[in-house]
Amino acid sequence: MPHAEEPREPLADTRQAVRVLSSSTVFDGHVWGVRRDRFEYNDAVIEREYVDHTGAVAVLAIDDEERVLLIKQYRHPVRTRDWEIPAGLLDIRGESPLRAAQRELAEEADVEASDWSVLSEFYTSPGGSDEAIRIYLARGLSATAEPFPRSEEEADIELRWVGLDELVDAVMARRLQNPSLVIGALAANVARSRGWQGLEAGDVSWPRHPKSEALGE
């Protein structure tokens, strides 16, 4: 007979404070840079380089018919026009993550929402980047008063409304690769099975963001 397990704390990541000996920017790019840190951990001095990222938000917008709003646009590093959910950088000083999500939904899809919740959060590549993304669930959708002018990769954005079940099937068949879309679709599927209960409000603080102080949190 298996032994009863000892009571344990809820499963959760743990922020770890380390002594940073030095930190410098080794590359300062148009959108993000590369940082080199020397720090102490496990009685050793370690040096690591990583992408120094502003962080981002993404929006899974779903209508009353359980259709999800998708956009398709060109992504040069992978030479692909991939299906995504609206998303954008936290690159405006003083702008809250929720406001950034509302702005991106309007700018990329000409859509606004009256009901905002936090659906999921994740680090895109924690071994090589400090980029953190928060995915919002947006409901109560309507069109914005005016379309937003778009340029460069966004000039030929394609919009499509897709049923949540169809979207999950496409994710599980590995036909869709964008991480915010994949995580958002699977999280939304679970949230729906729970009657959309238990999600936190859209304006809740984001303490696990590496730059939470810069976000005013």
pLDDT at residue 145 in the model:
82
Contact 54, 40 (CB under 8 A): no
Q: Delimit the domains of the chain by residue range.
A: 19-52, 56-201
Residue 210: band (very low, low, confident or very high) from pLDDT cuts 50, 70, 90: confident
pLDDT at residue 148 in the model:
67
For residue 217, indicate whether it is catalytic.
no
Q: Helix 164-172 and helix 179-193: axis angle, to 10°? A: 130
For residue 41, the tally of other CB atoms under 10 A from its CB is 11
Distances (CA, A) of 51 to 8, 33, 85, 142, 199: 34, 6, 23, 36, 30
pLDDT at residue 129 in the model:
95
- Closest to 135 measured CA to CA, from 208, 213, 61: 61
CA–CA distance, 19 with 96 (Å, rounded to integer): 29
CATH architecture of 56-201: Alpha-Beta Complex (3.90)
Q: Which of 154, 166, 200, 217 is catalytic?
A: 154
Q: pTM of the entire structure? A: 0.91
